[in-house]
Amino acid sequence: MAFEARLVEWSEAIERSHAEVRETPGGYDALVERLVSGSPIDKVSVIRQLGFYGSQAVPPLCAALKDPAYQVREAAAGALAALGDERAIAPLAEALKDCFEGRSALRNLLGGIGRALGMLVLLLVMVALSIVGQSVVGLHYWWGLVADWARQRIARTELVRVLTDALLQLCEQTESPELRRVLPDLKVVAVDVIRHGRQTRASSRTAVARIEALTSQLRDLPLPAASERPSVNVLPTPSQAPETLAGVVESMRV
């Protein structure tokens, strides 16, 4: 199974990071500081190393799910899946919603249909103009739009797949009614051929089936109130970095 292979990869990455962590000056506090101020590549490296700290690393990893860079969010989701901490369920669910326009997979699908129709109309106009020799440049512009859309689609659908796999892994370890909150969005993703690739749709179908099966007894329980969306702002800035681990945790509780 592709997800099992990915989980093994994440776990091996955490193991490889142990030696790096021991050589990191400042330890945990220094890593949290780099997670705020580093480049995307540096942040991905930091996330691998934070996995060494186990449950202590859950708060900064959850905050990293709000990072602007797709690769950072993917790395954070993978690390949280490998750690298997129940506290990551709500932040992962929020991060999944952040992948959709209007924070809804259905709105995201409808928006994708509208955009696809708009691009089709634009293509027909460009072709018509090029036939009469008026707009050869217009076709190049249209192809540029298509290429940009395709790049964004690939990056976003991969992130959705990683987040879905992480939620599935947590579902296998803990039964929480919070998991049922993502079912409507995952059901839409499972059939959305415009915005999402085949592997992402397959992961969503698998996740829906497993979450429904494992949480069927929790169906009638009230869902917890929506948690406050995590933000990278809850992490200390370099000038404000606390000197102790207790300071990091306390700053995130405020």
Q: CA of 6: how far to CAs of 13, 17, 166, in Å?
A: 10, 17, 10
Q: In the structure encoding, which two tokens stand for residue 96, read together?
A: 């999944």
Using the predicted structure, report yes or no on whether residue 245 has a pLDDT greater than 50: no
Q: What's the pTM?
A: 0.76
Q: What is the model's pLDDT at position 21? A: 52
The pLDDT, as a whole number, for residue 1 is 52
Q: What is the DSSP secondary-structure string of 185-248? A: HHHHHTT-TTTS-HHHHHHHHHHHHHHHHHTGGGTTSPPPPPPPPP-GGGSPPGGG--SSHHHH
**Taking 50 as the threshold, does the pLDDT of residue 30 lie above it?**
yes
CA proximity to 88, closest of 30, 35, 47: 47
Residues near 132 by Cβ (< 8 Å), separated by ≥ 6? none
What's the rounded mean pLDDT across residues 13-26?
Answer: 56
Domain assignments of the chain as residue spans, ordered by start: 1-83+230-254, 103-223
pLDDT at 13 over 90: no
Residue 123 confidence class, pLDDT cut points 50, 70, 90: confident
Amino acid at 244: T
Distance separating alpha carbons of residues 169 and 46, to the nearest angstrom:
22
Residue 51 has a pLDDT of 86
State how far the alpha carbon of 64 is from the alpha carbons of 119, 158, 177, 181, in Å: 34, 17, 24, 21
15 pLDDT band, cuts 50/70/90, is low
Q: What is the pLDDT of residue 239?
A: 47
What does the pLDDT read at residue 167? Answer: 96
- Per-residue pLDDT of 52-109, as tens digits, reads 899 999 999 999 999 999 999 999 999 999 999 999 999 999 999 999 999 999 999 9
User: How many angstroms separate the CA atoms of 254 and 246, rounded?
Assistant: 13
